[in-house]
Chain A
C-alpha cells in the first residue's frame, strides 16, 4: 500500500516536472545572455594550410562568419538559375564590371573607368589590369568579349540574357543573330567596347552591367558545349575572379567559401564564409547563440529581440521589393476602373506599414522607388479615404451583396486580414483563401482563376521599364488580365526614347495611368532588414538591394 502511494507521488511529480519544463519553454525571452561571437581562432598550422603557403608563418586568427540563406540555390552557375538565391554566392565568386550603387551611379569593379560614346550609342570599359581569376590567370578584354558571346548563344539556357539585349548584333531577346555577332570587341588587352542598338540611359547601362553580367574566364570555358553549360553538375566549382571561391558544399544545405587573398580590390578580412540554409523561425535563436553572424531574412517580429541583444546589430534600408494586390481586371465584378480605384482609396497603407511591418517599410502607390530618377513626385495619389472609396463604388453601381475572394500565399494571412478589414469597411465583402505559392502563381498567371491576390516583386530603381511585365498585355505576365492597352503604348514608347527629359515624362505618365486605371493596387515596399553580429563592420547596406555586397570591405573585429 505504502509503496504504491510513494510511486504515485513520484510519477505525479515527474509529470509535473515535465509539464513545468514545457511551460517554461513557452515563456518569452526577456534579455538573453551575452552570446559568443563567432571568431574562431586556430593554431598556426591551420593558418598555414588554409592560405597554402609553406614558408611564411601566419599568426593571424582565421576569421569566419556564417550567413543564412532563405532557400537553397539551384546551381552555382548564376545564368542558369531561375531564382535569386544564388546571387549572393555569385557576387563572391564572380565579378561584374561595376558595383551598382544606391543612387544609380556605379563604382569601379572589373572596370576601373568607363566612357560612353557620343550620344550614348556605346560604351568603352577600361579594365583593371590587376584583376585575376582564382586560378591566377589575368582578366582581360577577351574574357568580357567571351562572356558577351556566351550570354548571347542560343544553345545556352540563360535567364539573365536580357542584360545584353540592347547590344548590337543580337535579336530582341539578346540571342546572337549569327555566330559571335554580338558587337563587343577587345580594343586592346584591357579595353573593351560595346555598341548599342539604340542609345540607352547611362544609369540604366551601369545598373545592368553592375547587376547580373558575371564575367566568365575564356581560358576555362571556351569551346564549352551547350549541353555541358546547361548541365548543373558541371558547375560544382565555377572559376571566377571574385573575392571568394567555393571550397565545399552540401547540396541543398550549405556552401563554404574561402577568401581569395590576392583579390585585386583588396584582401578580404574574413577568411571563410559559411552560407547555410536556415528556416526563418530559427534565425533569432541562431543569432543569439552565435550560430549565425549575418542574415537578411529575419522576420519583422523578431527585430525587437535582436535589437535588445548587445551582441547584435540591426540595420535596415528601403528596398525595391514591392507588395501589391493584383486585381483580375477581366473579372466582371472588377472590370470597372472605379471599383479598382476604390480599392486603392480603401486601404490605409501607412497603418499597415506601422503595425504589420513595425515601420520597416515605405508606402507605395506605384512600382517606382522613391529614389529612382524616374519617380514622379507630382502624381496625385489615392491616399486613404474610405468615403471617397464608397463614392466611387456607388458611381460604379457596386452591389454590396457580392463577395470577392482574396487569394494569398500561406504565411501572408496577417496582411490578408488587414486588407480584408479595409475592403469590408467600404462595402467590398472579402473572403480570404490561402494556397502554396505554386498554386497561387498558377491561378494568377496560367488560369486567371482569381479575383484579388497578393503578389510581390521588384519595383523600378534605375530601369523604369522593369514593372512593365506586370502592367502590360503584350509582355510576359499579364497578371492583372488587362484588356486596356494604354500602359502597353506608354511602355513601348518609353523603351526607345533616348533623352532623359522625355523619358522622365513618359514614365511620369505611366505612373499617372497606373493610378488612373488601377490595374494593380501597390501597397508598400519592405525594407531590407539586416541583423548581424555587432563585431561585423563595413557593411554598405544600401547597395545590397542591387545584389552586390562588397564583402571584401567587411571587417570582423576580434
Chain B
C-alpha cells in the first residue's frame, strides 16, 4: 500500500467521525421527547425539572451542546449518563465484553461452517453439499432472528428444559465457565444461524468463480494433486469476498445484536443502546455511536490492508 494513500485514509477517519457524531447528535435531539420526560414522578415539581434541564445543559442550542460533548471527548471523557448518572465509558466498558463474546463467536462459527459448506458446494455444483447449502441459505435468510429465538426457547427451554434463556450466568455470584457456556448456547445459535445463509452463498459463488480461472486449469494440467490446488490456490483466492463481508460485519460485531440481546437479556451493547434511546440518554447514545463508528472505520482500513496482501494485484 502506497504511503500517501495510507496517510489519506488515516486522516479521513477522524473527519468522518466528526461528521457521523454531529449528525447523530442532531438527530437524537430533534427526535421528539427529551431525557426530562422520564421524570414522571407526580411529586416532582416544575422547578426541579427546569433545574435538571439546566444541569444537563439542554437549555443551550444543539450545536453548543455538541461542542461541549466534543470537547469532553478530546479530554477522553465520554460524559455521564442521564439515566444512571454513571460514567458512560464505564457503562460501555462493562457491556462490550459480553457483546464481543457473543458476536465474535457467532461470526467465527458462522464463517467456519459457511466456508466449509460453501467450498464443498462450490466444488460439486450438483452434489449433496450444494443441496445442504441451498436449504440452509433459504431458511436462514427467510426466518427473522427473533422467530428463531422463540422456537429455540420453546424447544430447548420450555419443552426439554435443557437450556436457560436469561442472562449470562445462573446468577451473578456464581460466575462459572460452565454456567456461561450453557447460557451462551441459545443466543449464539440464533446469531450464527442468521448469518450462515448469506455467507454460504458468497463462498460458494467465489469458489465457482475461481474454479473457472485459467490458472486452475493450468495447475490441473500440470498434474498437481487436487488437494494441493485446493489449499494453495482455490481457498486463498476465494477469500476476498469473505474479507469484504467481514468489513460489513464490523458494525454488527461492535453494535451488538440488539434483538437477540433483548430477548435473552444478554447485558451487551445492543441492550444498552435500546434503553438509552428509549430514555433519550444522549451521552450514552453518543458514546455507543462513537464506538461503533470508530470500530467500523478503523476495521475497514485494516481489512483493506489485508485485502491488498491477499491479492497483490490490488494496489492503492
Q: Taking beta carbons and an 8 Å cutoff, which residues of A are in contact with B?
A: 4, 7-8, 10-11, 14-15, 18, 21-22, 25, 29, 32-33, 35-36, 64, 66, 72, 74-75, 80, 82-83, 159-162, 173, 230-233, 247-256, 272, 274, 276-279, 281-282, 285-286, 288-292, 435-439, 441-443, 445-446, 457-458, 466, 469-470, 475-477
Q: Do B172 and A438 touch across chains, with their CB atoms under 8 A apart?
A: no
For the complex, give the distance between the alpha carbons of A162 and B38 in Å: 18
Q: Mark B161-180, 1 if CB is under 8 A from A, else 0.
A: 10011111001110000000
Instruction: Kindly provide the distance from the CB of A545 to the nearest chain B CB, expressed in whole angstroms.
Output: 16
For the complex, give the distance between the alpha carbons of A249 and B127 in Å: 52
For the complex, give the distance between the alpha carbons of A540 and B225 in Å: 78
- Whether A442 touches B267, Cβ cut-off 8 Å, given contacts A274-B171, A279-B262, is no
Which residues does chain A contribute within 8 Å of B2, judged by CB atoms? none
**CB neighbors of A among B247-283 (8 A):** 262-263, 265, 267, 271-272, 275, 278-280
Total chain B interface residues with beta-carbon distance under 8 A: 62
For the complex, give the distance between the alpha carbons of A233 and B91 in Å: 11
Which residues does chain A contribute within 8 Å of B232, judged by CB atoms? none
For the complex, give the distance between the alpha carbons of A276 and B39 in Å: 23
Q: Do B167 and A250 touch across chains, with their CB atoms under 8 A apart?
A: yes
Instruction: Kindly provide the distance from the CB of A215 to the nearest chain B CB, expressed in whole angstroms.
Output: 20
Partner of A438, one of B33, B167, B265: B33
Q: Do A279 and B128 touch across chains, with their CB atoms under 8 A apart?
A: no
Q: Do A438 and B275 touch across chains, with their CB atoms under 8 A apart?
A: no
For the complex, give the distance between the alpha carbons of A252 and B132 in Å: 41
**14 further interface pairs, Cβ-Cβ under 8 Å (given A254-B171, A438-B33):** A25-B154, A25-B155, A72-B275, A162-B43, A173-B47, A248-B173, A253-B167, A253-B168, A253-B265, A253-B267, A254-B172, A274-B172, A442-B37, A476-B42
Q: Mark B22-54, 1 if CB is under 8 A from A, else 0.
A: 000000000111100111111111111100000
Which residues does chain A contribute within 8 Å of B87, judged by CB atoms? 233
**CB neighbors of A among B127-175 (8 A):** 127-128, 131-132, 134-135, 138-139, 143, 150-151, 153-155, 157-158, 161, 164-168, 171-173
Which residues does chain A contribute within 8 Å of B126, judged by CB atoms? 4
- Whether A437 touches B172, Cβ cut-off 8 Å, given contacts A8-B131, A74-B83, A470-B42, is no
Q: Do A21 and B172 touch across chains, with their CB atoms under 8 A apart?
A: no
Which residues does chain B contribute within 8 Å of A291, judged by CB atoms? 157, 164-166
Instruction: Kindly provide the distance from the CB of A27 to the nearest chain B CB, expressed in whole angstroms.
Output: 9
| B84 within 8 A of partner (CB) | yes
Q: Do B265 and A279 touch across chains, with their CB atoms under 8 A apart?
A: yes
Which residues does chain B contribute within 8 Å of A252, judged by CB atoms? 95, 267, 271-272, 275
Which of B85, B150, B153, B263 has the most chain A CB atoms closer than 10 A to its own CB? B85
Least CB separation from A25: chain B residue: B151
For the complex, give the distance between the alpha carbons of A518 and B165 in Å: 46
Q: Do A436 and B278 touch across chains, with their CB atoms under 8 A apart?
A: yes
Least CB separation from B129: chain A residue: A7
For the complex, give the distance between the alpha carbons of A83 and B83 in Å: 10
Partner of B280, one of A75, A277, A438: A438
For the complex, give the distance between the alpha carbons of A439 and B37 in Å: 8
**CB neighbors of A among B104-136 (8 A):** 126-128, 131-132, 134-135
For the complex, give the distance between the alpha carbons of A278 and B267 in Å: 12
| B311 within 8 A of partner (CB) | no
